[in-house]
Amino acid sequence: MTTLRRQRPKQRAALLWLALSAMLGVPMLQTGHAATTGRIVTDHNSGLAIYGYDPVAYFTDRAPKVGRPDLEVRQAGAAWRFHNEGNRDAFARDPAIYMPQYGGYDPVGIARGVVRAGHPDFWAIHNDRLFLFYSEDARTAFKANPEHIALQAQARWPDVMRRLVP
C-alpha cells in the first residue's frame, strides 16, 4: 500500500481497480484495456457493429473500410462485416484482438464518465488495440496523452458499462 500512496489519486484509483479486477477474475485484454466481453456499439436497426465497418481493416489497411454483407460474422451479440475473406478469417480466429476497445464507445468520454458511441472515421490504434472516438477533438485529446486517458477509461468502464441498456 505504501507504493499506492505515492501515486496521484487518479492513478491510484486505476491501479486499485486493476488489482481488484485481477483478484475477482474480471477479464481484461491487457493493463489499460477494457475487456471485449462488454456491450458493443451496434446499429439498433441492423444489429451491425461499428456501423458495418471492417474492424480488421484498421490494422491491415490503416484505414476504415466498409464491410460486405456476404462476409458477416456474429460475435459478442453483434454482426461484424468484413472487407475481404482474409479479414473475416483473422477476426474469427481472435476477435478480441480486432474488436474496438470499450465496445466501440469513445474512451475520452468513458474517462469522463460519459457514454458516447465512437464513429468509424475517428479512430486510432494504440498498443495494438483499436479505439473509436466520438469526434476529431476526442481523438486529438486521446493522442495527446493516451496512457493517462486509457487508465482513466479503464477505471470508469465498469461503472459506465452498468449504465448501458442491454
Joined together, the cell numbers standing for residue 74 give 456474429
In the chain, the amino acid numbered 103 is G
Q: How confident is the model at residue 39 (pLDDT cuts 50, 70, 90)?
A: confident
Span 63-72, mean pLDDT? Answer: 97
User: How do residues 136-160 score in pLDDT, each as one tens digit?
Assistant: 999 999 999 999 999 999 999 999 8
Distance CA 120, CA 3 (A): 39
Q: Would you say residue 135 has pLDDT above 60?
A: yes
- The pLDDT value given to residue 118: 95
Q: How much is the mean pLDDT over the chain?
A: 82
Q: Would you say residue 109 has pLDDT above 80?
A: yes
- Alpha helices, H only, the chain: 2-6, 9-24, 57-60, 85-93, 95-98, 107-111, 136-144, 146-163
Torsion-angle region of residue 133: left (phi > 0), alpha (psi -120 to 50) or beta? Answer: beta
Q: What single string gives the DSSP state of each residue in 1-24?
A: -HHHHHS-HHHHHHHHHHHHHHHH
Span 118-146, mean pLDDT? Answer: 97
Per the document, the length of the chain is 166
Closest to 164 (Cα-Cα) out of 101, 124, 113, 120 = 113
Answer yes or no: pTM beyond 0.85: no
Span 73-102, mean pLDDT? Answer: 96
